[in-house]
Structure 1
Amino acid sequence: MKKDLIEMNEKRKGKLILILAFAMVISVMNSTMFNIALPTITNEFHLQPSQAGWIVTGYIIVYAIGSVMFGKLADKYKLKNLLTVGLLIFAFGSLMGFLAPNFSFVLAGRIIQAMGASIMPATSMIIPTRYFTPEKRGRALGITSSATAFGTAVGPIVAGLVTNFISWRYLFVISLLILLTLPFFRVFLDNEEEKVKNKTDLIGAVLLAGTLALLLLAITQGSLLLAFIGIVFFVLFLWRIRVAQNPFIQGNLFENRTFSAGLLVSALSSGIGFGIPYLTPLLLQGVNGLSPMLSGLVMFPGAALAAILGRKGGKLADQKGNGFVAYTALLCFFLGYGILSIIAGSSPYIIMIVLIFAYVGQTFIQIALGNNVSRSLPKEQAGVGMGIYMMMNFIAGATATTLISKALEVKNASLQLNPFLLDHNSLNYSNIYVVLAILIVIVTLIYMSNFRKETIKSH
């Protein structure tokens, strides 16, 4: 009888992680699809590029803030109830965007979408952490990472088809598919007890939200004034942590060396990873002269293969340790960017093959670091800890995007970091890939110095 109960629970967990994977695919697609539609939206509403860019910038800012807020709330309230609230808010934003009579309503729809969708980053980490033992957690993270890779692969292609042949408005309708998961989440998530003993530190929450919003705006807008104000908010937030009886985030969370090191390595890895979805399409379109649709097709095989191999990466994390998966990821990253720094601007078919290394590296490092960080957190801090983990990734992505765009604006560059570059028309791109490859070496050294136990276990 007990064996049957265990098997039933395992089946329940298996179904739950597949539901989460489907939700992650739609969530990731929703985050990336509108990048493809920006030129069309800009023309339809007669906007400046900077105005249309708020569709992406506004979404990122609210999404980053919401991931921490929902993560904190998940430590106190039932996850199934938070998911219900989040997905219903998301649905309202999607409908607003679809029916929008002008750009202001489109932007409002995206902001409301982000408010609701920000429940997903926390959920994607909390479910593997709460429902799977450390020995099986890698497989669960492998499935969710595969879903993320698959959503990244198909998002631009779906967006291109829908925008070209129907209307960009239907991207909001596609996003509504995530509602199909809500009844299943309600059934398969445990009816855990709520732990509402203390009032939420609203002052701390506002200071943290202000810090994130101001710093992300400073990064995306290149404003030193906003950066300064953001730093002031951050100092006030640190002060609040010290004086509040029940602060929004416990200060001892960052005294956890494994957690803090995991945040650093994850942030650097996420920034490096943006060399794929942000830099590569610009290379393919600007130097190789491909259309957005063709550039998406060139990138698809690598992302699709990474999605397929994600489950294998999760199993390897359980069998051989996170260190084995992390070093495999970093090696693939290094090979991918190192070779791209040589062949940038060459045949798209060769670039398509080399991108496989970079995509696999991006997926595998998510599995290893998600496992490392989740194991370092006590149960009562798992929600907010994983929320902060995801938040750092968003900030790193926004920072990397800004720095890469600034590097591409350099005209008549004479410095050539890779002497083996084949096409000198892609000099800026090559130099950026070289810098990313050097950063991978630095990340490897940081990982080795902070996760020695994982290194030993992997052998």
Structure 2
Amino acid sequence: MSIYITVYVIFSLLLLLFLNFLFKKKNRKPRNGSAYDSTSVPQEENRKNMEEQVTDLLKESAIPEPALEYVEADVEPIEDMEPQTLSRMKESKKEVGKGKILTALMLGAFVAILNQTLLNVAIPHIMADLNVSATTVQWLSTGYMLVNGICIPITAYLIEKFGTRKLFITAILLFTIGSFICSFSTNFSFLMVGRIVQATGAGVIMPLLMTVFFTIFPPEKRGMAMGMMGIVMLFAPAIGPTLSGWLIAHFSWRLLFDIVIPIGLLDLILSFLWMRDVTKITNPKFDFPGLLFSTLGFGFLLYGFSEAGSKGWSSTTVVISLIIGIVALIAFVIRELSTENPMLELRVFKYDIFALTTIISMIINMAMFGAMILLPIYLQNIRGFSALESGLLLLPGAIVMGIMSPISGALFDKIGARWLAVVGLTITVITSWQFTTLSMTTSYSHILLLYVMRMFGMSFLMMTVMTEGLNQLPRHLGSHGTAASNTARQIAGSIGTAFLVTVMSTRQGVHMGQYSNLITSTNPFIAGKVSQIGQGIAALAHVPAAAGNQLGLYMIYGQTMKQATIEGINDSFVVATGIAAVALVLAFFIKRARIKE
């Protein structure tokens, strides 16, 4: 396994160096932060008049100044035009240009996030088709997560170095190429390479999308904008299991990659046509030590947490990975705080509201992602529901989130994040506690209703809390804030998943030990049940009574194991409830951010 993580580290370093070399010659010195300042009109007098009119318009524009460069290229100078007419024309073209950019970005983010959740259902089919073990095939998910974790922290540097246009085109191109490789792979190694290439592109898309949103939308409109983005972030992973379950039931697992290829190609075309640089290209110096420490720190940390859920916290692999990750992460923090040109500006955490909301977002992710792992285990492994049925159970919650995200965003613009977070977390705490009473007879409709209510509460949380914190940051720290926030949330999700799975496994063993003390031949009740079941099995299977009794004992043991697992899951939801309660207390301290310029 260690060879895989070594390959990931080397691949990430080589890729960044290659991109740096590729764009170095093409990068021109930034001209007031715009890639379109070279656009000019032949008539110098008209140009001056136009600049004066645009300058006046900037004061009332809905788009922050750094994002307006791409708008200037859209406006044709027209002689003798009334100022009001010119203003209306300018506003119209501005909105059209902004809409095109957001369309390209959100389509890319949707397909990248959707791709992460499509593969889970296909794991057993890939194991059989490529003849690999469960431990090996799990690297398709683990490797993807590791490369994502490596790429996200360097997004701020890449945005400042190459601009949003080049970076997004490169990201969606890599993602599409990786999908091609996966679709046509004939062995596991080839498939693994495709997943790494996919993750390299997908890892920068989400932080880049958030950076663009915070650049082109003014503070008073960011809530609604982030609510729209929440549809992508939360709806895509929710429909993934349902779509994947249906496709696997009727077609080959390769179709999971085939369906994202045309979307990737379409988005590649749209990004070439519509994408613009909306941030300043500052050409920062390349911080190689920072990249090295970041890669080792986040890579080993995420790997350690991902393995802890299955191998246990005392595993040598887990302990060594976490130690290396923590040491490298400490070195990364020291490096970034001491250098003049940090790869990731960690001083964003000196802003109190940003720091608080990041902590709350991390806690929410711990509770949410852990629960998203526990529920499918209960539905499929214990209750015997198919992947499609368990996916369909998650779909109504996704629809509710899709409806509520823009609404919660609009409410955020009016009242801020505090009371939205309090209401959302209260609902989350209550519904999480309700999940602590699962049993073998809990109805499908009851679980569905609880999950819908839980997602309703979550719709008030995810984007609003994060937006409040990012609103406090000065504009030039926006890309660093989104990169830091996304990195923290991903690590928290991994910690939450590993921790809650560990709680489930540990408590399952405790409950099974308690039941084992009861299931003995000396227990009259158990002896009677074994005899009763054994006689029935012996009669149906035409076997001796002793063999029937043995099979009856196995059946009781199997049911006991299921019950112990359910109680372990219930105990994990108790912990998840406590985690959500901590976030609820912290939510009362959220303040309305004063926008920094």
Whether the aligned pair in 1 keeps the contact of 2:363 and 2:492 (CA below 8 Å) is yes
Q: Which moved more, 1:325-334 or 1:110-119?
A: 325-334
Match of residue 434 from structure 1: 574
Asked whether 1:236 is paired with 2:236, we answer no
Match of residue 164 from structure 2: 79
Distance 1:198-1:16 versus aligned 2 partners, 3 A rule: closer
Residues of 1 paired with 2:98 and 2:457: CA distance? Answer: 27
Q: What TM-score does the superposition give when structure 2 sets the normalisation length?
A: 0.71
Whether the aligned pair in 2 keeps the contact of 1:215 and 1:230 (CA below 8 Å) is yes
Q: Which amino acid aligns with 2:297?
A: T
Residues of 1 paired with 2:151 and 2:103: CA distance? Answer: 24
Whether the aligned pair in 1 keeps the contact of 2:504 and 2:571 (CA below 8 Å) is no
Match of residue 444 from structure 1: 584
Higher relative contact order (CA 8 A, sep 6+): 1
Asked whether 1:215 is paired with 2:354, we answer no
- For residue 364 of structure 1, the aligned residue among 460, 483, 493 is 460
Q: CA deviation at 1:228?
A: 1.1
Whether the aligned pair in 1 keeps the contact of 2:160 and 2:282 (CA below 8 Å) is no
SS in 1 for 2:343: coil
Give deviations 1:96-150, integer Å, cap 9, x for gaps: 1111111011111111100011122112311220111111111111111112222
Matches within 5 A, 1:376-415: 376-410=472-506, 411-414=508-511
Residues of 2 paired with 1:286 and 1:447: CA distance? Answer: 36
Residues of 1 paired with 2:392 and 2:415: CA distance? Answer: 34
Residues of 1 paired with 2:571 and 2:305: CA distance? Answer: 22
Q: Which moved more, 1:107-116 or 1:225-234?
A: 225-234
Unaligned runs of 5+ in 2: 1-84, 309-317, 513-562
Whether the aligned pair in 2 keeps the contact of 1:413 and 1:427 (CA below 8 Å) is no
Q: Which moved more, 1:29-38 or 1:238-247?
A: 238-247
Give deviations 1:43-79, integer Å, cap 9, x for gaps: 2222221111111011011112212222332134320
Matches within 5 A, 1:59-208: 59-176=144-261, 177-192=263-278, 194-208=280-294
Residues of 2 paired with 1:360 and 1:5: CA distance? Answer: 39
Distance 1:51-1:425 versus aligned 2 partners, 3 A rule: closer
Q: Which moved more, 1:235-244 or 1:373-382?
A: 235-244
- For residue 265 of structure 1, the aligned residue among 332, 339, 360 is 360
SS in 1 for 2:461: helix
Distance 1:453-1:119 versus aligned 2 partners, 3 A rule: closer
Match of residue 124 from structure 2: 39
Q: CA deviation at 1:295?
A: 0.7
Distance 1:102-1:28 versus aligned 2 partners, 3 A rule: same
Match of residue 418 from structure 1: none
Give deviations 1:225-267, integer Å, cap 9, x for gaps: 1111112212222332244232222342222222222221111
Q: CA deviation at 1:192?
A: 4.2
How many residues in Structure 1 have an aligned counterpart in Structure 2?
A: 447
Match of residue 111 from structure 2: 26
Residues of 1 paired with 2:209 and 2:509: CA distance? Answer: 44
SS in 1 for 2:588: helix
Asked whether 1:55 is paired with 2:140, we answer yes
Residues of 2 paired with 1:169 and 1:269: CA distance? Answer: 34
Q: CA deviation at 1:278?
A: 1.4
Match of residue 347 from structure 2: 252
Higher-Rg structure is 2
Unaligned runs of 5+ in 1: 416-422
Match of residue 323 from structure 1: 418
Q: What TM-score does the superposition give when structure 1 sets the normalisation length?
A: 0.91
Q: CA deviation at 1:81?
A: 0.8
Residues of 2 paired with 1:243 and 1:320: CA distance? Answer: 38
Match of residue 419 from structure 1: none
